[in-house]
Amino acid sequence: MTAAKSERKPRGAHPGSHNGLGNSVRMAMESYFADLDGHDTSNLYDLFIAQVEKPMLEVVLQQTRGNMTRASQMLGLNRATLRSRLKKYGLD
């Protein structure tokens, strides 16, 4: 198997994205730390998840026109988990 074939993109990856989402996250995190200007932070994981999860859910719901079954498939979540996440962010 050639090197090109062994480096497969995740299922559903956008062609030509070259980890664009990961790079965007990295830049946002670097900007966040720059804005802290040396001040301490805590609960960063929870803050990050809350800041990313809600807009992700909003966009997926928009893309699926509110179809919960399709949204749960796109996200790789079961419908009950999706409903729980939507309720957490007031998107239900």
**What are the pLDDT digits (tens) for 17-59?**
567 989 999 999 999 999 998 899 999 999 999 999 999 999 9
Judged by average pLDDT, the poorest of 5-14, 18-27, 44-53, 63-72 is 5-14
Residue ranges of domains in the chain, CATH in brackets: 19-88 (1.10.10.60)
Report the pLDDT averaged over residues 66-81: 97
In contact, 85 and 57? CB cutoff 8 Å: yes
User: What pTM, to 2 d.p., does this model score?
Assistant: 0.70
